[in-house]
Structure formats: structure tokens, C-alpha cells
Structure 1
């Protein structure tokens, strides 16, 4: 072959190689999907969207939040189980779906130990008892007195999901104060709080991140928090233990999980991105203001936390006489 022909082929080969490399660089990074088991507008959704906004920079890929509300996160967990374990789908959840729901539902449609792998934990939080703005009570004792006077000892208390920590708390409070308190389940905290703001229900139990903004605005009042200590975001609100109601000291947690079989490299990448996000002072401040105690937990620590929390609640549920439904 003449020299000129060889040169033309060589140039053509180089151009093809450059085009292929350019096309590879032009391919957008695969979108990362973070599933949330509660409606938009609630505390868990707000946390997920805040983290997603920063995770996209650390991951170098779009991060979207996908709401799959219903059954206390059960539908979202089932969606995670069905997702391809390719490192693009994660589940941001608190304790209820992962640790408690499998204990109270006969056929949840997923087994956390078999179907999921922990990625990282990032915070703990507490639940709280709140009353609507139309309720004159400014404390738990005043709420109890109000129910006895105005409701004949009967009252409905909103809960974000059935067979959850809030439901067990409502039952304990009813027994403690000899009230006929009925848990009224919602599909997440957002619709429950909506009814509280509309004075459709006088009280509700939800997480501090769900309730704190409306409390600060004076539209509802948090009158007691769970956990072993008062919350920095609510320093004037007593704990249940202070009010003589022990047994709710274990702090629930927030964590991220992936479908079983997800490559370890993908899990490590997401975990590292989450850790860098939490290391940002402004991010920690915003999460703290939402009522969270920021605490990064690598996968192994999150797995231990989940098992311990499930074991603790297994004892509480058994002692309550509750039967899985």
C-alpha cells in the first residue's frame, strides 16, 4: 500500500478513536434514584430532597427523589426489592419500615436481612406528641384534662402509619391516663399534619422533623418528645420520661439501603458521597435545625443499629400483646 494510503488509514483510525472517546465522555451519568416511602411535603421527603441536591455534586450524576407512599413505607420497600441491583436505586428510610414493619405485618413482601443491604446511616431523631392550634392545651397534662372535659375521655390521635411507634405510644398514653384514645392512621405525616392544621383532629404523633416547622410557626404545639433527653431544637419541651412515662428511650434512625446484590463499589461510592455531604457545616446545621442528630454510620454500624432496634421493639410489641396483621 502506498505511503499516502497508509497515512490516510492512520488518520481515519485516529479520528474514529477520538470520536468514540468523545462519545463516551458525552454519555450522561446514569440517574440515581432515591425512593422514599412517604408523601411529598413530609419530613422524610424534605430530608431526602435536601440530601439529593448535594449528593448529585458528590456523585457527579443526577439524583432524583421518588415518592412511593403507602402502608408505612411498605410499598417503597417492595419497590426497592424489585429494583435492579445496578447501583442506581437506593431507599432512604427511617426505622419504621426496616425494623418495625416486618414485626407487625404477617406478609410485608420483603425481608430486610435477605432483600436489602445497608449503605449508610446518617441521623437519629425522636418522635413527639403534638396538639392542634385550636386545642387550648399547652402541655400533655392539659391535653389529658381537655379530652376528659370535652370528649368524655375519648379522643382520636393521628399517626403517620398503622402498627408504628406512634400507635404504640397512643395506646400507652390511653392506659396511663385512663383515656379512650383511638389511633387514626394516615398515609404519612403530611396528610396528618394537614388535618391538624385544619382542626380536623386535635392531636397527632410524628417525628420532630415532621412537626417542628409548624410548631415554630405556632400552628400546632409539640407538648412531649420521646427519647432520653430533651431535644436541642425543642429545649422547652419535656420528655415522656420526665412526665413519668418510661420505655421510649431508644432513638429511631435514618439510613440508606440498596437492593441485595448491589455491587460493593456502588455502595461504597454512595456511602462516601453521603459522608462528604454530611461533613459540610451548612448541611449539618440545616439537618440539625430540622430536628435531627446528625451521625454518619457506615454500613456495618447501620446493620448493627437496625438489628438492635428491631430486637428492642420485638420485646415492646410482644409485651403489648399486639398480633401481626
Structure 2
């Protein structure tokens, strides 16, 4: 057999093998499921539905968003672990489920480094402190004084999930201001905000994208944000650093994950499509308006961001004395 013929046969075999690398995406009519670990109506759900609509064209397939709420994303993460590693199921999540939850739950039912692979990142964001409409505080310092005077130094602060970043923030703020702040965990940001709007709880901590629409409508007030700089969506709201509170500078992330064993070709194809969608001005504008700092991350970049963030919060969790439950 001549060299030329051998090379031709090799190329032909490689070409025939390509569809096997991405069986879920190689044929028309296939559907991609995007799992979301929180209920409809929250920030993660809104982001997932926007991107699902835009990703249909570059991926050439139907995309559905499937809400699997419960345990701060734990239910959805376990569903991803058990999904086929063929590109038919992805998980859109933020830092809590990947970086925080495995450190605070004794048996989460998954290990990110073992069970998942990054498919592409889309943004970083910051958490925010907001007060309910019935709480008479125009800013965060006024809130602190209100708790001291009217609440006897004790008050509840809503958080979207137990043992989450917001819960540790409540603890750190209580220590910093010598207040007895008690975390009130919810099953997602939507029910927490519902209670805030009804003045069932005086304050809450969640992502900017959870609060932004109600803040703009004057239904609640975001009084401080984390991070190193003010947010474009909330230019008049100070950072905690501006208020003299250090240690809240690191920013969480949003990204897509696939089951371990998903072919590299599938991950790269999705990441490329995601980059194309995030480059669209209308998409960037919508995500920025939600309070996100938009920026595509390749699978490798998302993995690096995840590991760095996990290491930061490992130190915070250990210093807090928290015992995994």
C-alpha cells in the first residue's frame, strides 16, 4: 500500500469517527437540556433562558431549560452527574454549587473535579445587600444603625440557600459590626425576594441579578455590593470596600458544566458557540443589565477561575469554624 493511499485511508477513518465524538449534536432534531438548580423567576433561570434562545442557531439544535431546584443546586448537580456524557445535558450554575456546596455538605452526592468538566464560562458577578421597602434605611450604614436602635442589635437576613456564600457574608458582617445577624435560608432567591417585598424579612443578600429589577422599580433597595468596583448596573451603590469593610473583593462566576467524560470536541464546540453569542451586543447589554460582568471563558479558563475561587472560600470557611453538615 502506498503512503498516499495509507494517508487517504487514515483521513477517511478520522472523518468517519467525528460524528461519534458528538453523538448528541451530530444529527438534526436532537435536544440539549440546560439544567438550572434554582426555581423559575430567579437570576440563574433568566440567564439560562436568554442564552438558550440565542444558542439554538449556532449549535443548530433545540434547547430546553430544565429547572431542578433544591438544596442550593445540589439536586441539579446530581442530575448532571447521572446524565450521559454525550453533550445532551449541561448545567448552568454559579459558584455556590461548584465551589461552596461541596465544602459545607458532608455528602453532596458529587465531586466537581471528578464528576464534571467545564464547558465554558460567561461572566462574573457580585453579591449585594438589599433592604426591604419597610426597612427605614437609605444606605448600609443606616441599616446597621437601625438594627442597633430598633432591633436591639439582632435581625434576620435572608439568603437564597443554606451554607452558601451569603450565609458566610451574614456571619462576617455580624462580626464586623458587632450585631447578632441571623441567616434565614430560602430555596432560591425568588421566594426570598417575595418575602422581602412583603416585608416579612427586613434584608437579604443575593446576587445583583436577583435584586436589580426590583431595585430599579423602587420596590426594594440595594445598599451595598461586593467586589473591587461599583457595578455598571448600579453606579450609585457603594462597594463594601468604600464603606470600610475589607475582605469582600473576590468575585463569583457563572459557567456551564458537562458530565465527566464528555468528548473534548463537544466541549470546544459549545464554548465556541457561547463565545459567539456573548459577542452579540444585544446579549451583552441584557446580561450587563442583569448585573453581570460579561466575559467568555474557555473550558480551561473556567476551570482555573473555579479553582482559585474555591481556594479563597476554603480559607474563609475554615476560619469561620463552620462544620460540614
- The reply to whether TM is greater than 0.5 is yes
- Partner of 2:187 in structure 1? 187
Q: Give the whole-Å Cα distance in 2 for the aligned partners of 1:103 and 1:226.
A: 22
After TM superposition, give the deviation of residue 149 of structure 1 in Å: 2.1
Greater Cα radius of gyration, structure 1 or 2: 1
Tell me what 1:19 maps to.
Answer: none
In 2, the alpha carbon distance for the partners of 1:99 and 1:177 equals 27
Structure 1 runs of 4+ aligned residues shifted over 6 Å read none
Q: Which residue of 1 aligns with 2:120?
A: 120
Which residue in 1 is equivalent to 2:143? 143
The alignment's C-alpha RMSD in Å is: 0.9
Map 1:66-105 to 2 at 5 A: 66-105=66-105
* Secondary structure of 1:209 counterpart: helix
Q: Distance in 1 between matches of 2:74 and 2:125?
A: 21
Q: Secondary structure of the residue that 1:206 maps to in structure 2?
A: strand
Give the aligned partner of residue 108 of structure 1. 108
Query: Cα distance, 1:153 vs. partner?
Result: 1.3
Hey, what's the Cα distance between the residues in 1 that align with 2:100 and 2:128?
A: 18
Q: Which residue of 1 aligns with 2:289?
A: 289
Q: Which residue of 2 aligns with 1:249?
A: 249
Q: Deviations over 1:200-250 (max 9, x none)?
A: 111000000110110000000000000111111111111111111111111
Structure 1 partner of 2:226? 226
* 2:130 aligned with 1:130: yes
Q: Secondary structure at the match of 1:309?
A: helix
SS of the residue 1:296 aligns to: strand
Counterpart CA distance in 2 for 1:299 and 1:178 is 42
1:42-100 deviation per Cα after TM superposition (whole angstroms, max 9, x unaligned): 00100000000111111111111111111111111000001111111000000110011
Alpha-carbon separation, structure 1, partners of 2:216 and 2:78: 35
Q: How far does the alpha carbon of each residue in 1:289-311 deviate from its partner, in whole angstroms, 9 at most, with x for none?
A: 11100010001111111111101
Q: TM-score, normalised by structure 1?
A: 0.90
Alpha-carbon separation, structure 1, partners of 2:223 and 2:322: 27
Q: Which residue of 2 aligns with 1:21?
A: none
Q: How far 1:29 sits from its partner (Å)?
A: 2.0
Give 1:235's aligned residue: 235
SS of 2:230's equivalent? coil
**1:120 is paired with a residue of what secondary structure?**
strand
Give unmatched runs, 5+ long, in structure 1: 1-26
Length-normalised TM-score, structure 2: 0.90
CA distance in 2, matches of 1:105, 1:162: 10
Shift of 1:273: 1.1
Q: C-alpha displacement at 1:145, in angstroms?
A: 1.4
